[in-house]
Amino acid sequence: MSFAPGRPLDQPVVPRATLMLALLVAVISVGLLGVALLASLEQAVAEADARTVVSARVVERGLTRTLESAELTLVTIAQEIRADMGGGLDLTRRRIREAIRFAPQLRQVVLLKGDRVLVDSNGREGVEIDVAALDLPPPGSGGLNLGLRIGGAVPSRFLPLKGQTATAAERSLVPVAVNVDQGGDLVLVAALNASYLAGFFEDVGPGERGRWGLFRIAGDPLVSSREVLRPGTSLADVAASSGDEAFTRTLAVASSATRLSARYPLGVVIQVSHRDVLDGWGGRNRIMVWVLTGATLMLLAAIVLLVRDTMQRVALQNQVRLLFQAIEQSPMVVLITDANGVIDYANPAVRPLLGYAPEELIGANPRIFNSGATPPETYRDLWQCISSGAAWTGEFVNRRKDGETLAVSSTISAVRDASGRVTHYIGVMNDITAVREAKLEQERLIAKLSRANADLQRFAEVSAHHLQEPARRLVSFAQILRKHVEAGNAGETASTLDFIEMQARRLRELLRDVQLYLAAGQGDADPAVADAASAVKGALERLSPGRAVVETGALPPVRVDPQRLTDIFAILIGNAVEHACPGGEVVVRIWGESDGETARYMVADDGIGIPAEYRERVFRVFERLQVESGVAGTGIGLAIVRRIVENRDGKVWIEDTPGGGTTVVFRVPSGEGPE
């Protein structure tokens, strides 16, 4: 980590009183200007909301008067038709045409009897109107008036005929109707010009993003802006309330004014967008907005300068404190010397590693750590490296304050000033004793694994031959036996059967020892303590050694799987009996000793002995020194012993028995220590 560039730590910070006062004045000024502009914007929104309410009232009055005019025209025509029922339809046609001429809101007037047109202002008589498409309420269905019935919007220029399909390009109309007679057989239906009705909304100008609409109480639109508006408040709810208008604001985005018609079951809804209000307000207050923006930027710049001026020194102090704490708490030893090698600083980690208190080393030379075990060329390489400007990394054998030595890994580098002159040296030391021990353990395990792999490879190669040989002989003598049986040669048959039995027994022994060899590499990684005396007893019960005399001494406990320990003693006692001198009894002595960590056992006999040059070879798989001597055995026994012992990190070897014979010694972890 490097120090941040900036002012030296002892340079005073720019006086804050003046800066804080100027900053306070600027904040108050910008705040007052911002409050004033926000108040102006809120006022503009409130004025727009008020205009929306007024516009809704104006449009409602205009539309109500238009509908009243249409109703008056239709009612007058209906009265004349009722007064002159027997005079034919000519007078009715003339009256309807005159009404159309002086009523621009009416696009078409027809007299219907059921669905059939009796009189049409456009001359389409005798055709049938699609009355269902007009969505006219039934007579006397309630509402605010009793005469005029107002239907739903129809996308057509004129009243639709039955079977006529409307297209999107056609204009729309709003159908209205009055009954001519009491029975409702004759009905006057007029098509109100939707464009004429939309003109009332366009006159009040709700804005570029504003929306509007004329709705029936049920909520379906009769006339609306291009983007269809949905009322923010249900018209039925407004009608059920005591008032005739409502006002809503949607998340400061838009405001809506709703006004019910004073006479008809209709409602006017006008919505103004606050974005239109904001655009208009911004145009009127452009200069003030720019002034506020500029003042805010200047205020931010002043704050940045003040904060940076203050934080530079704080950052430097924090970095120094952080670096110091990191070095103080580091588990590695950190030493700093001057250019002459005199120690200026030592962190607390020097106490547990080298035994010195940090204050003891101030003013001392690092030569006090020299144990004399580090090669001189190491120091030559060190000075040559750091003199060239590079960092040196290597290993020392240092001496602690108490005189003990330890291996450390060290990195040393020079610190130079701006002119390139060396001012200090920094050294970092780390104890690598455990690393070295781990490396030695790794090498030991690798050697053990290599030896085990070699044994397994030899076992695989040799066992194929040794296991096949008895089987081959069994097959061969079985064929000979067949011939003797066929020839009736009883003497030869018995001899051949004896040989077959001997080979079968040898094959069984080979398979048994192969199984023992494979099992020798297994077992609990941390077995319980085994009683060696019990293992010797179990081995004797397994062998029944006959003429052998087994003498046992002190046998300390041991941490080896009991079954494997019994196998060891059984193999060694069996070998002693098999390789005993001819005649007489065989004496086998077994004893042990322990130093608390390891136990060593000796199995000695008074047999023929093993020459020194063969004492390592006999531990290999299928190695026998007396193949033709008639001595029984498979050549795997000592290999099994070695595999069991080394699996417990032990060792086995052969020594001479005083007075003649062989002593097999094996050493394994003792069972006397803590579990």
Same domain for 184 and 61: yes
What CATH code is carried by the domain that includes residue 64? 3.30.450.20
Q: Is 436 a residue whose pLDDT tops 60?
A: yes
pLDDT of residue 373 exceeding 80 = yes
Each residue of 260-299: pLDDT tens digit? 988 898 999 988 888 888 888 888 888 888 888 888 888 7
* Domain shared by 527 and 484, yes or no: no
Statement to judge: residues 408 and 344 lie in one domain: yes
Asked if the model's pLDDT at residue 562 lies above 60, the reply is: yes
Q: Are residues 348 and 417 in the same domain?
A: yes
Which pLDDT value is given to residue 144?
A: 38
Question: Residues 77-94: pLDDT tens digits?
Answer: 888 888 876 667 888 888
Lookup: tokens for 493: 């048959």
Calculate Rg over the CA atoms of the chain. 58
Would you call 228 exposed, middle or buried from its count of C-beta atoms within 10 A (0-12, 13-18, 19+)? exposed
12-21, 595-604, 662-671: which has the minimum mean pLDDT? 12-21
Residue 474 has pLDDT above 80, yes or no: no
537 φ, ψ to 5°? -60, -45
DSSP letters, 301-349, are HHHHHHHHHHHHHHHHHHHHHHHHHHHHH-SSEEEEEETTS-EEEE-TT
Position 302 pLDDT exceeds 90: no
Question: Which residue pairs from 498-503 have beta carbons closer than 8 angstroms and sit at least 24 positions apart in sequence?
Answer: 499/473, 500/474, 503/470, 503/473, 503/474, 503/477
Taking only the tens place, the pLDDT of each residue in 191-207 is 999 899 989 988 887 88
pLDDT at 145 > cutoff 50: no
Cβ–Cβ < 8 Å for 186, 113: yes
pLDDT of residue 465: 54
Of 189, 208, 243, at which residue does a domain stop?
189
Indicate the pLDDT class of residue 545, thresholds 50, 70 and 90: low
Residue 281: phi, psi to the nearest 5?
A: -65, -40
Residue 414 above 80 pLDDT? Answer: yes
* Listed residues 520, 553, 569: the one ending a domain: 520
Model pLDDT, residue 336: 93
Residue-by-residue DSSP string for 375-404: -HHHHHHHHHHHHTT--EEEEEEEE-TTS-
- Regarding whether 486 and 411 lie in a shared domain, the answer is no
Three-class SS state of 66: helix
pLDDT at 12: 44
Residue 233 resides in a domain: no
Query: Residue 632 belongs to what domain range?
Result: 523-675
Domain for residue 2, yes or no?
no
Q: How far apart are CA 644 and CA 91, in angstroms?
A: 132
Q: What is the CA angle 110-115-119, rounded to 5?
A: 25
What DSSP element (H or E) covers 422? strand 422-431
pLDDT for position 68: 92
Q: How far apart are CA 558 and CA 533, in angstroms?
A: 10
**Phi, psi for 64 (deg, rounded to 5):** -65, -45
Query: Is pLDDT at 174 greater than 80 in this prediction?
Result: yes
CATH of residue 569: 3.30.565.10
For the segment 323-352, the average pLDDT, to the nearest whole number, is 89
**Over the chain, what is the mean pLDDT?**
81
How far, in Å, CA of 632 to CA of 634, rounded? Answer: 7
Q: Which residue has the higher pLDDT, 63 or 37?
A: 63
Asked if 506 and 628 sit in the same domain, the reply is: no
Place of tokens 């104890």: 431
Burial 558-593 (b: 16+ CB within 10 A, else e): bbbbbebbbbbbbbbbbbbbbbbeeeeebbbbbbbe
pLDDT band (50, 70, 90) for residue 636 = confident
Closest listed residue to residue 415, CA positions, set 405, 407, 427, 423: 423
Rounded Cα gap, residues 304 and 108, in angstroms: 73
Count Cβ atoms within 10 A of the Cβ of residue 336 and give its class: 0-12 exposed, 13-18 middle, 19 or more buried.
Answer: middle
Average pLDDT over residues 153-178: 82
Q: How many domains does the chain have?
A: 4
Residue 204 domain-assigned (yes or no): no
Within a domain: 4: no
Q: What is the model's pLDDT at position 507?
A: 60
Confidence bin at 362 (pLDDT 50/70/90):
very high
Q: What's the Cα-to-Cα distance from 4 to each of 7, 196, 309, 317, 364, rounded to whole Å?
A: 10, 75, 13, 10, 32
Per-residue pLDDT, averaged over 538-555, amounts to 82
Q: Is residue 355 part of a domain?
A: yes
Asked if residue 486 is part of any domain, the answer here is: yes
Asked if 557 and 597 touch (Cβ cutoff 8 Å), the reply is no
**Does residue 603 share a domain with residue 501?**
no
Same domain as 650, residue 538: yes
- Would the pTM count as exceeding 0.85? no
Pair 480, 410 in one domain: no
- Do the domain assignments include residue 554? yes
Query: Which of 16-30, 106-120, 272-286, 478-492: highest mean pLDDT?
Result: 106-120
**181: alpha, beta or left? (left if phi > 0; alpha if psi -120 to 50):** beta
Both 498 and 358 in one domain: the answer is no
Question: Which band of pLDDT confidence, cut at 50, 70 and 90, is reported for residue 509?
Answer: low
Say yes or no to pLDDT of 151 above 50. yes
Percent of the chain predicted with pLDDT > 70: 82
What pLDDT does 4 receive? 37
Last residue of a domain, one of 490, 505, 520: 520
Within its chain, how far is the Cα of 288 from the centroid?
Answer: 50
Query: What CA–CA distance (Å, rounded) separates 178 from 136?
Result: 10
Indicate whether 610 belongs to any domain: yes
79, 175: one domain: yes
In this prediction, residues 564-575 reach a mean pLDDT of 87
Q: Select from 585, 622, 603, 618 the least CA-distant residue to 662.
A: 603
Q: Are residues 587 and 442 in the same domain?
A: no
Burial of 322 (C-beta count, 10 Å sphere; 0-12/13-18/19+): exposed
Structure confidence at residue 453 as a pLDDT band (50, 70, 90): confident
